[in-house]
Amino acid sequence: MIPMEKKEKLSPFHTTILVFMIQSGVMALILPQLLAETFGTNGWITVLGFGFVASINIFLIAAVYKLGKGRSIFQILEQSIPKFMLIPFYLALALVWTLLGCMAGKEYILIFQMYAFPTTNPMEFKLIMDLLVFWLLTKGLYNITKASTIFFWLFSWLVLLLFFFYADFSWTRLTPFLFKEGHFTYLESLDIYSSFLGYEIVILLFAYTNQKTKLIKSTLLGNLITTVMYCYLALITFGVYSLGQLKNKAFPVLEMMAYIRFPFIERMENLLYGFILFTVLFSILMYEWCALEMLKQVFPKLKANFLAFMLILSCFIVAYIPETLNEVGDWLSTLSMIECGIAFGLPFLLLIVLMFQKMGSRTAHE
């Protein structure tokens, strides 16, 4: 029997929503503060530049998709490189993606625990989250994409809450100056760019789609939606807070949401932060799915569900190591730099392999 995820092909709509859900997450809460600290006045404009860089990366992936004629990256690599030489490479990628998912989950849990349940052990929440990730991981990619669409509609209404801040928004806070009082560093720029990461996982979706599904256009559209949402969120935040306030607030978006009042709900920000779980969940889930795909190549004889269980168990154990939010942030900064390298480096590697294959094919025909 053919697995469901092999029978079904991803639709453009599901792919677009999946890319958006992977990209958006906890970083949206931190992004305005990072923009203010790094670029200063009107730092929100740079979101468009980061989105453009992500689009360039997606076009690199598109070149791989076109030259490889829709073949999976495993087929491309293993046609030219012996598999035993690729195993360390696969394991390294699996390790990075596993840790990225693990630390993204731990960061969300620590912030949630700090605001809502300060006396509760965060690892109890981490256990519940990991169980949910494991359950979805065993359902296959096609079912994951359908679930992401459902969760998207549960999450998307939060954008409408920004209308509450129009009365407090002031264009004078933006000032006519561009990028004044900022402290630009490449490391902080990479931290900002990490909020766009997630689109690169489409390089593993080649086997689950076909030429007619317009995979790359869907990915570009998902990245565009994320860019517009980030830009709109940053613009509103820059217009509500002064530059000095933004620099001093760890989670300006979450604190801004705390000003929303409904007669039937207290501590609205806790409820809103709970809804952000939907996007965080799929960021974690898809990085773990990527790691699982790598492990399937390394251990083809082991059952996928067993590999998924060991993967999630490893995540839960590793999550005990960093205990504070600052420690988790240090882990994520390092992993994000590595992931930026993977996002650009892996397509380049595949393009080089494909060019050698094309040259070899021409030589054989001559």
pTM value is 0.90
Question: What DSSP assignment string belongs to 306-354?
Answer: HHHHHHHHHHHHHTTS--SHHHHHHHHHHHHHHHHHHHHHHHHHHHHHH
Residue 363 inside a domain? The answer is no
Q: Is residue 193 part of a domain?
A: yes
- Is 308 within the bounds of a domain? yes
CA-nearest of 25, 38, 331, 342 to 187 is 38
- pLDDT confidence of residue 199: 92
Supply the pLDDT for residue 46: 93
How many residues are given for the chain? 366
Query: Which amino acid, one-letter code, is at 11?
Result: S
pLDDT tens, position by position, for the chain (366 residues)?
Answer: 334 444 567 888 888 999 999 988 788 888 899 999 999 888 899 999 999 999 999 999 999 998 988 888 999 999 888 988 999 999 999 999 999 999 999 998 888 888 777 778 888 889 999 999 999 999 888 888 888 888 888 887 777 878 888 888 888 888 877 888 878 888 888 889 999 999 999 999 988 887 666 889 999 999 999 999 999 999 999 988 888 888 888 888 877 877 777 665 666 666 677 777 888 888 899 999 999 999 999 999 999 999 999 999 999 999 999 988 889 989 999 999 999 999 999 999 999 999 988 876 665 555
Query: Would you say residue 360 lies in a domain?
Result: no
Closest Cα to residue 100, out of 46, 154, 27? 27
Q: Flag whether 142 is in a domain.
A: yes
pLDDT of residue 5: 44
The pLDDT value given to residue 8: 65
Please indicate, yes or no, if residue 121 is contained in any of the structural domains.
yes
Structural domain range at position 100: 4-350
Annotate 10-32 with DSSP letters as a single string.
Answer: --HHHHHHHHHHHH-STHHHHHH
Here the CATH number for the domain that contains residue 240 is: 1.10.4160.10
pLDDT of residue 6: 46
CA 172/CA 81 separation, integer angstroms:
59
Any domain includes 99: yes
Q: Tell me the Cα Rg of the chain.
A: 21
Residue 155 lies in a domain: yes
Domain count, the chain: 1
